[in-house]
Structure 1
Amino acid sequence: MEQSPKIASLFIYPIKSCRGISVPQAPVTPTGFRWDRHWLVVNYKGRAYTQRIVPQLALIKPEMPQEAFSEDWEPTNKSFMVIRAPGMNELKIPLTTPDSVAEGVSMWEWSGSALDEGEEAAKWFSDYIGKPSRLVRFKKDSEHRPVDPQYAAGYSTTFMDLFPFLFLSQGSLNELNMLLPEPVPVNRFRPNIFLDGCEPFGEDLWDEIKINDLVFKGVRLCSRCKVPTVDQETAVMGSEPTETLLKFRSDKVLMPDKKPRGKVFFGKEMVWDWKEGSSDGKGKLIKVGDPVLVAKKMTSRNEAAI
């Protein structure tokens, strides 16, 4: 009899490509967890920085008030995100909405305006990275960043790479670590929802799951970039785990009937189908320990979108 998965950990990454926060509960919204990838570090042209080109972003640690992950919580003028990094004084960012706007912000296919966190933040990030930089916040009241309609028409997100939620299982990580020269922790893969009680790579086949009354729909397998090769404790980039993943998690191996494009896959990208279950479209909490009901599964990985 197949095991019933449950949530082992929940992770929120307030600033894109910076360190994540492990939380006991997380408010779900249509664009992802509340506060997840709401901030972005950009260069002097307004283009996004990520660990692909600035691996030392991995060493930046944001800290949020514990109550920020409660349902319906709203910040006051005493609510801050505190940011720390090696060799730097701590930086406090008010969680209330800033007044300044940065035009011409861009990340991958999206460009638009964002909220600017001001000169103190700009100097802090410029000094740390060694290049002119600014910290901006997604302007959720007026900006809209749709995901690729080929995969999930009608959904949108903030500063995530592609889709609102990334699921990964302990079983998959264990399987990979048995093959690696040195095991890697889950933070290499930056999931939002980390599951236990799931067979290795069982999440590949999930078409629809339920957590409490929330329905999540599988979008596609997560194609991995260079970020998993960055050691999140040292910011040093290597060749693993990608080198090992290529041997058994490439499109060539997993989907022999499809044209290979040299991709490797680890984790499952999903959206919250807020039109089902909780019909008001407002976020609800999910918690560590919550059971996961697999409602619909694919029969093979050849059916999975990549």
Structure 2
Amino acid sequence: METLSRHRTLLLCAAGVGAAVVVAWLWSTKGRKGKKKGQLQKVGEVSQLFLYPIKSCRGVSLSGAECTEYGLKSGQLRDRHWLVINEDKVQVTARQEPRMVLITASRTHGSLTLSAPGMDDLNVPLKLPITNEILDCKVFGNKVQGRDCGEEVSQWITNFLKSSQIYRLVQFENSMKPRKPKDEFSTYTSNDQVAYPDLSPLLLLSEASVDDLNTKLLKKVKVRHFRPNIVISGCGAYEEDSWEEIQIGSDVTLKRVMPCPRCILTTVDPDTGIINMKEPLDTLRSYRLCDTADKAVYKSSPLFGQYVRIEKNGELKVGDPVCQIIY
């Protein structure tokens, strides 16, 4: 009887352990119900990465970068977190001052170092004094704050651009209220936010699209004419138009928001700072105009490259595989 009782006890214990395992599994899978898991299909790889510290100034080529909610970040350099403004506190870009593309902003220890042809390098503190004024600026008519970088850099930029009015440089800080792209395009959501970029924190473009455009041009253009953050190789021309959601490397997930409407900034030569006002814009208009119901939105702006939102942050590097997520 004692042996039988012990055997019965062991069976009940085993049953209890089994039930506990089942309950634990059910709880672990409960939160995953209803979530679709996409398949990854490789479509290319990252060939170039560019970060533009000052809006409209020369981009910094990177081998790797951190992808954050506000775009690419490398050390203390952040994409389009500095802005040139005029006396009315309105943005100044290479559309008005083409030679801005000749200004290079790099990081030297704790400074943002500005370089330009014919100018001595100038170091601007990356951490500005709290006594520097915070200005209410305008980017495409929308208000966004920036802390003034001081008189010395104001004079440096004004002198280089040979401007008849005084230009100033401001810096966006994390504590400041970001801009909402939804105020400009309904394709964005109220959760989308940026510092000084035109719309999205990231712009993506394929090498094949630029190569295809060059078959139609007498004077060839470079990827740098279009100021992308992420350049993709190994895919066909304009394939980026169809990637609704992609994963880069093992971390970063991006979702397409809208194509990039192109303007006269594409006609600024990134090597000379000379604007021609025509090409490659005229050629792009001959075959890249919107022909859908969104034509009223984009009007005469040709579409080239894709604006994306960041679904998952992480590290990016040149050579990372780019995979389309297919549900």
**TM-score, with length taken from structure 2:** 0.80
Contact preservation (8 Å) 2:252, 2:315:
no
Q: Does 1:109 align with 2:141?
A: yes
Deviation at 1:284, TM superposition (A): 2.3
Farther off after superposition, 220-229 or 136-145: 136-145
Deviation at 1:213, TM superposition (A): 2.4
Q: Does 1:89 align with 2:120?
A: yes
- For 1:233, the aligned partner's letter is D
Helix, strand or coil for the counterpart of 1:268?
strand
Query: What's the counterpart of residue 230 of structure 2?
Result: 193
Contact preservation (8 Å) 1:210, 1:294:
yes
- For 2:305, the aligned partner's letter is G
Contact preservation (8 Å) 1:3, 1:197:
no
Distance 1:258 1:264, change over 3 A: closer
Q: Does 1:292 align with 2:322?
A: yes
Helix, strand or coil for the counterpart of 1:4?
strand
Deviation at 1:110, TM superposition (A): 2.0
> Which of 150, 157, 167 lines up with 1:133 in the alignment?
167
Deviation at 1:296, TM superposition (A): 4.1
Q: Counterparts of 1:64 and 1:112 in 2: how far apart (Å)? A: 24
Q: Does 1:26 align with 2:62?
A: no
Farther off after superposition, 16-25 or 94-103: 94-103
Query: What's the counterpart of residue 188 of structure 2?
Result: 152
Helix, strand or coil for the counterpart of 2:79?
coil
Helix, strand or coil for the counterpart of 1:270?
strand
- For 1:169, the aligned partner's letter is S
- For 2:179, the aligned partner's letter is R
Helix, strand or coil for the counterpart of 1:217?
strand
Q: Does 1:9 align with 2:48?
A: yes
Farther off after superposition, 89-98 or 164-173: 89-98
- For 2:80, the aligned partner's letter is R
Q: Counterparts of 2:126 and 2:210 in 1: how far apart (Å)? A: 34
Deviation at 1:12, TM superposition (A): 0.2
Query: What's the counterpart of residue 283 of structure 2?
Result: 244
Q: Counterparts of 1:293 and 1:257 in 2: how far apart (Å)? A: 27
Distance 1:256 1:156, change over 3 A: closer
Contact preservation (8 Å) 2:42, 2:324:
no
Greater C-alpha radius of gyration: 2
Helix, strand or coil for the counterpart of 1:166?
strand
Q: Counterparts of 2:155 and 2:129 in 1: how far apart (Å)? A: 17
Q: Counterparts of 1:39 and 1:250 in 2: how far apart (Å)? A: 31
Deviation at 1:258, TM superposition (A): 4.7
Per-residue CA distance 1:26-64 (angstroms, 9 max, x = gap):
111112112100100111121110011111101111122
Q: Counterparts of 2:144 and 2:286 in 1: how far apart (Å)? A: 39
Contact preservation (8 Å) 1:12, 1:21:
yes
Aligned residues: 274
Contact preservation (8 Å) 2:204, 2:308:
yes
Q: Does 1:263 align with 2:301?
A: yes
Helix, strand or coil for the counterpart of 1:145?
coil
Query: What's the counterpart of residue 205 of structure 1?
Result: 242
Per-residue CA distance 1:55-92 (angstroms, 9 max, x = gap):
11011111225xxxxxxxxxxxx411211112211111
Q: Counterparts of 1:79 and 1:25 in 2: how far apart (Å)? A: 20
- Structure 2 portions without partners, runs of 5+: 1-40
- The answer to which structure has the higher helix fraction is 2
Query: What's the counterpart of residue 37 of structure 1?
Result: 80
Helix, strand or coil for the counterpart of 2:212?
helix
> Which of 220, 240, 253 lines up with 2:258 in the alignment?
220
- Structure 1 portions without partners, runs of 5+: 66-77, 275-282, 298-306
Deviation at 1:3, TM superposition (A): 6.3
Q: State the identity as a percent.
A: 34
Deviation at 1:136, TM superposition (A): 0.3
Per-residue CA distance 1:176-232 (angstroms, 9 max, x = gap):
011111111111000000000111000011110011222100000110011010111
Q: Counterparts of 1:43 and 1:218 in 2: how far apart (Å)? A: 33
Moved over 4 A (4+): 256-260
Contact preservation (8 Å) 2:71, 2:201:
yes
Per-residue CA distance 1:253-284 (angstroms, 9 max, x = gap):
xx38855721201100001013xxxxxxxx52
- For 2:192, the aligned partner's letter is Y
Contact preservation (8 Å) 2:180, 2:193:
yes
Contact preservation (8 Å) 2:42, 2:323:
no
Query: What's the counterpart of residue 168 of structure 1?
Result: 205
